[in-house]
A and B are shown apart, each in its own frame.
Chain A
Amino acid sequence: MRYLAYLLAVLAGAALSFEGAIYAELGNTIGKLETSFYNFFVGSIILTLLWIFFGKGRLSYTLEAPKWTLLGGMLGVVYLTSIVVSVPFVGVGLSMVSVIIGQLIMSMIIEHYGWLGSIGAKINKEKVFAVISMIIALILVY
């Protein structure tokens, strides 16, 4: 099951790159904010269908949950809009590098302090090595 989680995360990253490249093109035709809106609107429709057929959880938990756990959608809007806006100006490469640096910094901080209900694993030697390897990879790519 752990291996499956890693596999899904790789696929998620691949989806992110395809999405960025494709939406940059769509953004040139219909507008940046409109592209984000399209993604979230049609995404809602697809997910409503998925939920009707396969939803096993409890959507009503939304009303009881702490309010900060409901902010995921708003944060996703910031990410997607930033990509659609910046790709035509600085290119896919540089945009992805900036996103990645942001991701690395934030996930280290979140997990080290166990913020936002995360597992709360301390930063250790191996994780620092991992980040150094990622930075070397980034330098080699661009």
Chain B
Amino acid sequence: MGILMILFTLIGGLTLSTQSAINGTFSRKAGTIETTLLTFLTGTMFLAILILFWGQGNLSAIVEVPNWQLSAVFLGVLFVLFIVIAVPKIGVIATNITVITGQLAIGMIIDHFGWFNSLVIPLDTSRLFAMVFMALAIYFIYKGNVRSNKEAKQFVESPS
């Protein structure tokens, strides 16, 4: 079961990057808010059908859960909105590496304090070193992108 879950999440990561690329392209003509709105509208329709056939939970329990659990929807909206803005400017890889850094840094902070009923895993030396390597990764990706842009420009200026 565990392995199956890990594979499933891996596919989740693949689709997340693909979504970033597709939405970045769509937004150039449709606009940022419009792209995000369309993403959420089609997602809603898709899930409505999935739930009709396979929904086993209890959607009406939503009125009983604490409000902080419901507030995550704003984060979901911000994520898609920010990605749609960033991808056309800095590209898919740079966006994703930067996203990953934010993900891991906050993940470690959540673990450290055990927020949202999660396990408490303290921020130790190896985790601090990990943050240094992540900063290094962003630096490399930035330099790599500057170089790709230069090469692309040269190609445009002197077409062979």
Q: Are B26 and A70 in contact (CB under 8 A)?
A: yes
A62→B32 CA distance, assembly (Å): 13
Q: A111-B92, A134-B133 are in contact. Are A31 and B58 (CB under 8 A)?
A: yes
Cβ–Cβ < 8 Å partners of A81 in chain B: 12
Query: Contact string, B80-96, partner A, CB cutoff 8 A, digits 1/0?
Result: 10110111011111111
Q: A73-B38, A102-B13 are in contact. Are A122 and B82 (CB under 8 A)?
A: no
Query: Contact string, B39-61, partner A, CB cutoff 8 A, digits 1/0?
Result: 11111111110110011111101
Cβ–Cβ < 8 Å partners of A83 in chain B: 9, 12
Q: Is B122 an interface residue (CB 8 A)?
A: no
Q: A108-B93, A118-B92 are in contact. Are A98 and B75 (CB under 8 A)?
A: no
Contact of A96 among B32, B86, B107, B140 (CB under 8 A): B107
A16→B22 CA distance, assembly (Å): 19
A19→B62 CA distance, assembly (Å): 17
Interface of B is mostly: helix
Q: Are B12 and A58 in contact (CB under 8 A)?
A: no
Most chain B CB within 10 A, of A96, A102, A108, is at A102
Cβ–Cβ < 8 Å partners of B77 in chain A: 43, 46-47
Q: Are B8 and A82 in contact (CB under 8 A)?
A: yes
B89 to chain A, nearest CB (A): 4
Please name the residue on chain A nearest to B36 by beta carbon: A47
Cβ–Cβ < 8 Å partners of B89 in chain A: 1-2, 5
Q: Are B58 and A9 in contact (CB under 8 A)?
A: no
Q: Are B99 and A12 in contact (CB under 8 A)?
A: yes
Q: A6-B98, A38-B62, A141-B108 are in contact. Are A98 and B20 (CB under 8 A)?
A: no
Q: Are A61 and B16 in contact (CB under 8 A)?
A: no
Within 55-71 of B, Cβ neighbours of A (below 8 Å) are at 55-59, 61-62, 64-65, 68-71
B residues with CB within 8 A of A: 1-2, 5-48, 50-51, 54-59, 61-62, 64-65, 68-80, 82-83, 85-87, 89-108, 110-111, 115-119, 121, 126-127, 129-131, 133-134, 136-145, 147-149, 151-152
Which 10 A-B pairs give the minimum distances between C-beta atoms?
A: A31-B57, A57-B31, A102-B13, A13-B102, A126-B144, A117-B25, A73-B42, A82-B12, A9-B98, A106-B17
* Given A110-B21, A126-B140, 11 extra CB contacts under 8 A: A16-B75, A19-B72, A34-B59, A58-B34, A102-B13, A103-B16, A117-B24, A119-B148, A124-B147, A136-B130, A137-B104
